[in-house]
Amino acid sequence: MNKKKIFTKENIMPVIVLTVICFVIAAVLGVANMLTEDRIEFNEEQKKYESLKVVIDGTFEEVEKPAGAPDSVNGMFKVTDGDGNIKGYAVTLKVQGYASEISVTVGVTPDGTVTKAVVTSEAETHGQAGMANYTDRFAGVTKDKVAEVDTYTDATGSSTAIRGAIVDAVNTVTGNMSEPEPEPALPREDSEIITLAKALLGTDTELTDVTPDKMEYAKRIYKAGNDGYVAYVLVMSRYGAPETETLVHVGIDGTIKGVNKLVWKTSDSSDMYTPPAVDVVDAFYAKLPGKKASDLKALQNSDLVSGATSTSTGLRDALVEALEAIEILISKDMPTPENELIPMINSLVGEQLELTNVTPDGLENTKRIYKVGNKGYVAYTVVMNTRYGRPETETLVFVGNDGKIIDFTKIVWRPSDPSDMYTPPAADIVDAFYAKLPGKKASDLKALQSSDLVSGATSTSTNLRDALVESLEAVEELIIKDMPTSEENVKALAITLVGKDVEFVDVTPRGMSNVRRVFSIGNGEYVVYTVVINARYGKAETETLLYVGEDGKIKNLNKMTWSPSPASDKYTPPSEETVNAFYAKLIGKNAAAISDFGATDLVSGATNTSTNLQSAIVEGLEAVNAIKAECDCDNADYTARIIGIVLLSLSVLGFAAYKIVPKITKRRKNG
Amino acid sequence: MNKKFAIFLKGLIAENPVLVLVLGTCPTLAQTGSVIAAFSMGIAATVVLLCSNMVISALRKIIPDTVRIPCYIVVIAGFVTVVQLVMHAYLPDLYDMMGVYLALIVVNCIILGRAEMYARKNNVLDSALDGLGMGVGFLIALVAMATIREILGSGSFAGIEIPFLVDYKIPFFAKAPGGFFVFGVLIAIVNKIGPKAGSEKRKNFSCEGCPSAAVCNKASCDAESVSKEA
């Protein structure tokens, strides 16, 4: 074959044709995917609710179960029909039956009528057939008749439990929540327990009741200042009398420091049974001090009281419950008590402002977050050193309304103790690290390199950094939530601004300084709500609602608040026309155009306010651009992948067509 | 007009893709356990066959011979994916039921076979009729097989239980061996009652005896004889 003739029409056409066909098919698939994507996603979403469709059919949406709903309620799902009207609720419950836990799914209409109930899992002593028939009795029963449905004769225990579950479901839907049952009285008065606890402690410290909810045995847990905790543990016998009553003193390290055997009562001595001797029992109690929850759990049968195994096992389990509850309390506990913290916060902030405790749940190291007037937030973080059982760092950070650290107080910095092997870093190195904190946001701290941390105390400073990131991110969430205008009102204003009813999808990015909300409203359009807080007065200086078009330019805006410093002898605020002219200039501009505004474009006489507003708006528009870019990126990635695959397959096919096929044909012809 | 109709009709029995040409055996065996699955497989394959036949026929003068197979596969795979997306979106239950066999339509021999044997040599209308005929033939064969297998094997028809039979179901028919068995019996019946039955006795089981010999112009026979000569 002559090499010069390789690019002939016969050689090139196949490549072009195959390429074109590939592109056309890829385009067709792209369109098909675009048209079906949402629907497919919806189908996949609804598949999760397949098992619920048996009791009530429709479109499912998981909702949070109302406060005060019975414990048996596992999950609750709102069911709507095709037009979005509420058809009812599907409620999943788990109750204790006769021999096993029974899972029940109940469909309930909004007025409390049961559509259908099914038992989804159980291991009761009879077949499921009878149970299935039993739940059929509830179909169509209205809320006032549910509790009167007869139980199933062969399985009264199981069917009573199922009926209870269905009644719970109906009550949850209709909002008819019962009051929690009053706790039965303790065999001792609280005052008596406190006196006994003080006797056990040997000091007269103030005791604070810190008993958590839903304790089965640990009826009272008191905090005794720095001495730790005292728990009063009660185990009832099956005859309804106290079997054991015990007071335990637990240190702040979670180990038992002392025990008071108040009551130890096994079954009475009889012909059949001789209770263990007192010294055997006391030997068991004597084993307790120095033990933690995990040590107690690890006790062998031989460590318990022989001759009273059941009683001592019951006591052991009850003590474990108390110790574990105390471990949780210790983790929540603050090494520096609140009354000492508040003066520190005031000196950190520089003035005495109203402090509101806004600590969210679920934080590990952030013990407290206070909202400081309108100036921002102060977070108190504690990192415990697990090896020494003491706080490694305790830090107060003052975070502004823009999520950046304004200032900090180093309460404790205490890495491992110096030894032959280890020299802690010098104080000035540590201080240099702390000095880096002001002006940083959560994302900045995350980006810190190990060279930015404290060499010689890498673990301590990394822990501190992580704890601060946790605090700052929590504060960012709080900032987002904290809006001068409520979310409903913002949405209402946005609807007026956009001029049509739209669906708001909250896409607010985190770590924004002034942007409080970004809503996607479809068609590539967004609504941005910005708030600038006046640092001096602590109130909103400007609040602005922007309607951002597909092209990233402001289509319209709502001047919600414009309040620079109030007028005084020294200061006259600009006239309303000047201000409105400034706002009018913003419309039709994108982020770049607005950030290019010069001094003359701003509001003379309110330069600060308008500069702040300018940067807030630019931030908002850039956030929108970033959100859009994120989506475009994905598409670009997808396209690139398709092109890559097409090119790869083309080159393989081309090679096959021009090198291999002719050879074979040639060989055949020759052969 | 009659001639055109004949193109459509031949796919039903005379050249039934499954029972006479013995193509597309995999979905035939896998999807005939229940009538609903068989029916939806038949419809999906018919749609793909119709569309791909039309497109390939329309492009028959543009597609160079050397790359025709990749071109056909791209077109077929494109239509299969569209059908897959549409079913996933609007018939999710059927989509789940058909599972991987929906995607496997891409490599269904009937579709590639019709493109290679018919669509690339005939005009768009004829190819469409051929595709439709073959598709319906495939559908009929699948449903016939599924009816037998489901009634005997599961005692139901299209999921509706048949009172007496449900107590005496023969699980053999619901399993793969039963599929092969019913398949064989059906081929035998069609061979016996088919229009050509008796008129033309098979001389041998090589190319001349092949029912689609007329369509492929004995191209493969020639190649075979050529290679034998060589």
B58 touches chain A (CB under 8 A): no
Single-letter amino acid, residue B36: I
Residues in B touching A15 (Cβ below 8 Å): 67
Instruction: State percent of chain A over pLDDT 90.
Output: 2
pLDDT of residue A671: 46
A63 touches chain B (CB under 8 A): no
Pairing of strands A366-372, A376-385: antiparallel
Query: What does the pLDDT look like over A255-304, one tens digit per residue?
Result: 888 888 888 888 777 777 888 888 888 888 888 888 888 888 888 877 88
A21 touches chain B (CB under 8 A): yes
Mean pLDDT of the A28-55 span: 82
Judging by beta carbons within 10 Å of its beta carbon (0-12, 13-18, 19+), is residue A107 exposed, middle or buried?
buried
Query: What does the pLDDT look like over A314-330, one tens digit per residue?
Result: 888 888 988 888 877 77
Scanning B11-162, the segments in alpha helix (DSSP H) are 25-30, 35-58, 68-90, 92-98, 100-103, 109-117, 124-154
B69 touches chain A (CB under 8 A): no
Give the residue among A507, A493, A616, A508 at the shortest CA–CA distance from A556. Answer: A493
Contact between A614 and A607 (Cβ < 8 Å): no
Interatomic CA distance for residues A258 and B131, integer angstroms: 89
Query: How close is the nearest chain B Cα to the Cα of A32, in Å?
Result: 6
B67 touches chain A (CB under 8 A): yes
Query: How close is the nearest chain A Cα to the Cα of B25, in Å?
Result: 27
- The answer to whether B226 contacts A40, with C-beta atoms less than 8 Å apart, is no
Extract the tokens encoding A538: 């602590």
For B77, the closest chain A residue by CA position comes to: A25
Interatomic CA distance for residues B197 and B193, integer angstroms: 6
Instruction: State percent of chain A over pLDDT 70.
Output: 90
Extract the tokens encoding A514: 């002034």
B66 touches chain A (CB under 8 A): yes
Contact between A523 and A548 (Cβ < 8 Å): no
> Is the pLDDT at B221 greater than 80, yes or no?
no
Query: What does the pLDDT look like over B193-202, one tens digit per residue?
Result: 766 544 455 5
- The answer to whether A28 contacts B82, with C-beta atoms less than 8 Å apart, is yes
Q: Which of B71, B86, B88 sits opposite A18 (nearest CB)?
A: B71
Q: Which of B70, B78, B227 sits opposite A28 (nearest CB)?
A: B78
* Phi–psi pair at A336, nearest 5 degrees: -105, 115
Considering only residues A203 and A589, tell me which one the structure prediction assigns the higher pLDDT.
A589
As a residue count, chain A comes to 671
B160 touches chain A (CB under 8 A): no
For B90, the closest chain A residue by CA position comes to: A39
B61 touches chain A (CB under 8 A): no
Query: How close is the nearest chain A Cα to the Cα of B54, in Å?
Result: 14
Considering only residues A461 and B13, tell me which one the structure prediction assigns the higher pLDDT.
A461
Interatomic CA distance for residues B208 and B194, integer angstroms: 18
Extract the tokens encoding A203: 């000091």
- The answer to whether A14 contacts B66, with C-beta atoms less than 8 Å apart, is yes
SS3 labels along A380-428: EEEEEECCCCEEEEEEEEEEECCCCEEEEEEEEECCCCCCCCCCCCCHH
Q: Which of B71, B77, B81 sits opposite A17 (nearest CB)?
A: B71
Q: Which of B59, B70, B85 sits opposite A36 (nearest CB)?
A: B85
Beta bridge partners of A232: A220, A247
Find where tokens 């967004």 sit. A526
Q: Which of A10, A21, A668 sits opposite B74 (nearest CB)?
A: A21
Query: What does the pLDDT look like over A624-660, one tens digit per residue?
Result: 888 887 755 455 556 667 777 777 777 777 776 666 6
For A659, the closest chain B residue by CA position comes to: B66
Query: What does the pLDDT look like over B48-106, one tens digit per residue?
Result: 999 999 988 888 888 888 888 888 999 999 999 999 899 888 888 888 888 888 888 88
pLDDT of residue A386: 66
Q: State whether the Cα torsion A593-A595-A600-A601 is positive or negative.
A: positive
Single-letter amino acid, residue A216: E
The listed range with the strongest mean pLDDT (A24-33, A82-91, A124-133, A231-240) is A24-33
> Is the pLDDT at B222 greater than 60, yes or no?
no
* Concatenated DSSP letters of A335-352: SS-HHHHHHHHHHHHTS-
Give the residue among B34, B122, B131 at the shortest CA–CA distance from B76. Answer: B131
Q: Which of B66, B71, B89 sits opposite A36 (nearest CB)?
A: B89
Query: Mutation test of the interface with chain B: which of A38, A43, A45, choosing the one with the most B Cβ atoms within 10 A?
Result: A43
Contacts of A236 (CB under 8 A, 6+ apart): A242, A243
Interatomic CA distance for residues A600 and B162, integer angstroms: 87
Number of helices (H) and strands (E) in chain B: give both, helices first: 12, 2
* Phi–psi pair at A180, nearest 5 degrees: -60, 145
Of the listed ranges A35-49, A546-560, B203-217, the one predicted with least confidence: B203-217
Give the residue among B229, B223, B211 at the shortest CA–CA distance from B18. Answer: B211
Query: What does the pLDDT look like over A154-163, one tens digit per residue?
Result: 677 778 888 8
Q: State whether the Cα torsion A312-A315-A319-A321 is positive or negative.
A: positive
> Is the pLDDT at A240 greater than 80, yes or no?
no
* CB neighbours of residue A490 within 10 Å: 22
Mean pLDDT of the B113-133 span: 88
Of the listed ranges A35-49, A234-248, A330-344, A636-650, the one predicted with least confidence: A636-650
Of the listed ranges A173-187, B54-68, B93-107, B145-159, the one predicted with least confidence: A173-187
- Counted across chains A and B, CB pairs separated by less than 8 A come out at 62
Q: Which of B59, B74, B85 sits opposite A32 (nearest CB)?
A: B85
Residue A168 CB-half CA count within 13 A: 25
pLDDT band at B136 (very low <50, low <70, confident <90, very high): very high
B59 touches chain A (CB under 8 A): yes
- The answer to whether A21 contacts B59, with C-beta atoms less than 8 Å apart, is yes
> Is the pLDDT at B28 greater than 80, yes or no?
yes
Mutual angle of helices B35-58 and B109-117, in 10-degree steps: 30
Query: Mutation test of the interface with chain A: which of B85, B86, B224, choosing the one with the most A Cβ atoms within 10 A?
Result: B85
Q: Which of A22, A32, A43 sits opposite B74 (nearest CB)?
A: A22
Query: What does the pLDDT look like over A451-469, one tens digit per residue?
Result: 888 888 888 888 888 889 9
Whether the model clears a pTM of 0.80, i.e. scores above it, the answer is no
Interatomic CA distance for residues B6 and B200, integer angstroms: 20
Helical (H) or strand (E) element with B24: none
Residues in B touching A661 (Cβ below 8 Å): 66
Rg over CA atoms, chain A: 35
For A40, the closest chain B residue by CA position comes to: B89
Q: How far is CA B191 from its chain centroid? A: 16
- The DSSP 8-state label assigned to residue A8 in this structure reads -
Q: Which of A17, A40, A657 sits opposite B89 (nearest CB)?
A: A40
For A36, the closest chain B residue by CA position comes to: B89
A132 touches chain B (CB under 8 A): no
| ipTM of model | 0.78
- The answer to whether A33 contacts B85, with C-beta atoms less than 8 Å apart, is yes
Residues in B touching A33 (Cβ below 8 Å): 85
Mean pLDDT of the A366-376 span: 83
Interatomic CA distance for residues A548 and A616, integer angstroms: 14
For B74, the closest chain A residue by CA position comes to: A22
Query: How close is the nearest chain A Cα to the Cα of B106, in Å?
Result: 14
pLDDT of residue B229: 40
Query: How close is the nearest chain A Cα to the Cα of B223, in Å?
Result: 10
Q: Average pLDDT over chain B, rounded to whole? A: 81
Q: Would you tell me which residues 73-92 of chain B have a C-beta closer than 8 angstroms to some C-beta of chain A?
A: 74-75, 77-78, 81-82, 85-86, 88-90, 92
Contact between A623 and A528 (Cβ < 8 Å): yes
Q: Average pLDDT over chain A, rounded to whole? A: 81
Q: Which of A13, A35, A671 sits opposite B230 (nearest CB)?
A: A671
Residues in B touching A653 (Cβ below 8 Å): 67, 70
Interatomic CA distance for residues A585 and A596, integer angstroms: 12
Query: What does the pLDDT look like over B56-66, one tens digit per residue?
Result: 888 888 888 88
